[in-house]
Structure 1
């Protein structure tokens, strides 16, 4: 009977499984329902057996189901953990790259509050991650960035587009810095913006170098064209302020008695302050500038309100919002104090070594301008004073008829050109002047003849003409001519005076050269290179030819410069420049535009492959060891190449893309040549 019962039980098991929870949940002592048709005595025993078996089987089913469920959950957990570990392994290199990146990385939420900053953020800004997270990046704003840049940025980001631009920000310690920012919105699958990612580079050194070079070239150009001293001094002052927006500068001059300060240039200081300084008597303890002019030594006042030199001037300094003043004496080439160059700050400020170098260099440039102006003024006064008395003893006086034949030449011509008077008297215009100058003189003579024939006075001529010398070479002269008239007022000839201006022309040529060349390497500078690039682009557009623009950065130069000193670094730069020139054609140009940054122009290049071949040639040349000052030094180069017209139709576009390619080459291990292609923009971002 028990066997039959078990067979029946197996048939009933599917129906019983559903009631297991009910069975095991009955209270202790409660009756279990049984069949009512069985005999009473046997029904009791069967009921007891049924209850035991049902409870046991129900518990077994429950445990088995739970085990199966737990097994499946465990399998899913193991798979999820494996997937997470795989994803984590894939992301670990990216996380390490971001953490160790030389670029500053910021990630914000849609509310533009910072949620992540990498370690470089702290290095550049001075703010720790704890201080930055939860704040808007505007906490770094200096207030000096053009508002139009922010408007342009948000216009792009709101359209879901990336944006690139530059900001002037302020570090935690108050210092300003420039950054190049590449910002992209993060868009989810539903097209909603969930945040922003910004990758930024500290370009302070580059911007200051560019601005310093621009200011220097501008000042040299002003010197070359003989601009007035106030204009030159203002250019020096504005150049320093442009590269250092937190500074306000002044150039003061000593009066003729060397006892009082006169305003030379101070465009950013208040008028009432300049008026108070103008005419101030110099002396020990008379502010920073008065003391510097009196002692001939640099005076650094970090806090005007607490320094005894400024006790009488604290109120006016406070009104002018001036809190620190450093003043450097401007000295002539002979060491005489000519004035002062001063740098002011709105807050108490201690100068860094770079600040000291800046004020020294600014004073030296001002010295050149003042020396030159004083020399020219002294020359003018001297010429005016002695012109009649000296009878132009050093000038050549001559007369000529309308046929261009000399009728008189003073003896000083032999000192000027080496020819005797008798020899010069037999020379025509083509022998007295170089071909270019002879054409100018002949044109003037023709116009003079026409004027006299028409009854007009012979026109006065003043110009610079080049004359050949007997023993080779030429001499530049300033020639002035006028008509000669007899007592009846009739024209009878031409009176001319030729003055030797060779030294002046040489000085002008030198100044012009300095205005367009790097003084260390003698390579073209940014100004001359830009002119050549524009000319090459015009020629390429006209001819339908290609050209290549390369941006080159020396790898590992800074450690060498820091370890062995600037003297060795300068020799290395000069040798590197020489090697680059040796790799180029005569029509090509290599220019130095920064500390260890160069650009190369290849006009009329055949193809991208030709340009890359030249770039590789340069890279290989710079990859060879340098023997400098008894040391064997090794550097390499990262070169970015952009082609016209494929990668840009103008100078700005080509330069930007060549720069992007160069930074990509540097970021990919350095010692590498990279041709620009559009994908680099996204990779760089």
Structure 2
């Protein structure tokens, strides 16, 4: 015990002062009347004065009356409680003007007789911690949006606006990479001027294409503190000046497989350097955008798989039924005719038997492409099953004769296309086998009238017409009236 007391006694006032100055917190000591007795260097920076000029003065000599009143009220509260008092407050540092949110702890001090002699204050900077807490709350609320059926542009805008609300002096943007991976499109930047967004929409990525174009091309963060002087912005300096932009930091948005999806950018009105907290915000925001983009793309893919044939990519029977109902409604609305074709390949099984299902699959894919090239954009081509396909001719003519003629012309175009030879390259483990195959089609056609029999199974009738075409020798077209 005596040895411990001796060691403590060896700590001189200079030793204790050195420890006090080394601490990153603001530390000070006042007497019961609020007069300063001691403070450290960090506190000197807050008041913008040296310790020798602070000692013997009160808060009212250095800060506004409103702030000094607040400081004094918290001092009195701690002294009245007789114990620790903690509060949060924003303070501005006189030496450089920056602001910090601090957590201030004030503890009353007593002498050996228990008499109150002053108050010890310690303030810790919690700005970063509070901002991170706010960001995590914002991040959680954004992730909740993804669980709802909200369009991707709306989710991305929520991300942009959310980050901007956390930092009122910034403007954010999200740009997506197009399907070819060459241009930035579909920008979400509600706080940037419309003329600026329009000017950069569709810009080709590459080194020297601003911050975003460069980041998307290189796949790494690009920080431009001063747009006016940076070579990456030389082609866009005038545009940026017109928009009032001083700096731009851009983070590439990467998928879970590290493919570039787009860019997330933070703009400032004036020159601005990247700080540690900014790195966290821009990285996490880009990651949040990535989650939103990938999730929505997966949803679209799942929806597509639910209504499209996996082999050919054509609508399946579920989507065919929906398109048929839409066609019926259009017929009633526009008083026009429509038609349904049922197509069955005539010489498909021998190819499967001789060369396997891979060859058959390749043929079906080619058939799907040939049919699709023969029809109009308003028409629907669906795979019904196996080697059977159904085509809906939507919104034909209002006169029956003309509608039949148009349906016959398109059906003949399909028949002729499907009868052309097929060159099928079948991959295998050792080498590719090339097979030439001849395959025709039997086609049944039924005209759908706009005033009668809307509840009739039109596909079944077209199937019956197809069997009539088979009976007539195949590679032919047979018409069947839906209202005999």
Q: So what's the TM-score if we normalise by structure 1?
A: 0.34
The answer to which structure, 1 or 2, has the higher relative contact order (CA under 8 A, 6+ apart) is 2
Max Rg structure: 1
Larger relative helix fraction: 1
